Amino acid sequence: MTVPFGTRLREAMDARGPLCVGIDPHAALLEAWGLGDDIAGLERFSRTVVEALADRVAVLKPQAAFFERFGSRGVAVLEQTVADARAAGALVLMDAKRGDIGSTMAAYADAFLAPTSPLFSDALTVSPYLGFGSLRPAFDAARASGAGLFVLALTSNPEGHEVQHAVGADGQTVAQSVLRQLAAENAEVRGVAGALGSFGAVVGATLKGVDADLAIDGPLLAPGIGAQGATPADIPGVFGAASGNVVPSVSRDVLKHGPSVPALREASARFVDEVRAAIS
């Protein structure tokens, strides 16, 4: 049987440290690396990040949009990046934030969560804002393949507040409703010491005084560390008792050290050390 994503993520975090590094080949970063904003630059950038980090960080997170902007050739590079990173031992979280209904959501799930797809990833980011139930095809596909999901809940962008903090008829905020339903999806690991469910939430590390129950028995992807202003030392204050389930996500503050492979490795190792110290 396929080992569930949550189990594999816990093992990777224990062995390699709790860190997710983004693969975000935006134009300014390609230029900073001395690369062209073209397919050749995209390939070189992605190959270098995988070479430097895939055998030592727990999670690599390609941002699909930065590959899709090059059309079919960019998607081909993304396919190769996913395959190479997984072959080297990293868990791959596809940051695509897909969200739709019915057969369209099922097609997105097939694209990223079906083992027969060239874009098959260990986990996928999804948006619940067409209703949490609209994500059912993705949950079903993830369970069938042993993959995971990270559902947007409390994001760090200021625009998210108007939706995520809106209060429903039951008196709960939209974000808390998402977290509550995620906890239900992870019910099989509830009460199992050290276990981690396969279905996580995205909760920004830049948030202060999170007024929400983060005990979802699953991982908490925490973007915002580094260039967006949060530091590993902020994790306990934001996540409290759930800090041990946090997967901090860093992109620019690691990637800016490329194209040097040793410098990329040193930067990622420094973040791992800082996160471990903060949550210990």
3-state secondary structure 83-140: HHHHHCCCEEEEEEEECCCHHHHHHHHHHHHCCCCCCCCCEEEECCCCCHHHHHHHHH
Q: Please check the confidence at residue 210 and state whether its pLDDT lies above 80.
A: no
pLDDT grade for 211, boundaries at 50, 70 and 90: confident
Evaluate the omega torsion of the peptide bond into residue 219 and state whether it is cis, within 30 degrees of 0. no
Encoding tokens for residue 188?
Answer: 């099989």
Segment 76-99 shows an average pLDDT of: 98
Please pick, among 61, 97, 208, 256, the residue that the annotation labels catalytic.
97
Give the number of C-alpha atoms closer than 13 A to the C-alpha of residue 135, restricted to the C-beta side. Answer: 26
The angle at the Cα of 22, spanning 118 to 263, to the nearest 5 degrees, equals: 120
Q: In 3-state terms, what secondary structure has residue 193?
A: coil
The CATH topology of domain 5-279 is TIM Barrel (3.20.20)
CA distances from 40 to 35, 36, 171, 265, 268 (A): 8, 7, 52, 23, 25
Segment 194-223 shows an average pLDDT of: 91
Domain ranges of the chain: 5-279
Backbone angles phi, psi at 235, to 5 degrees: -60, -50
Has 97 been annotated as catalytic? yes
Q: Please check the confidence at residue 1 and state whether its pLDDT lies above 60.
A: no
> Distance between CA atoms of 135 and 138, rounded to whole angstroms?
5
Question: Do the beta carbons of residue 141 and residue 109 sit within 8 Å?
Answer: yes
Average pLDDT of the chain is 95
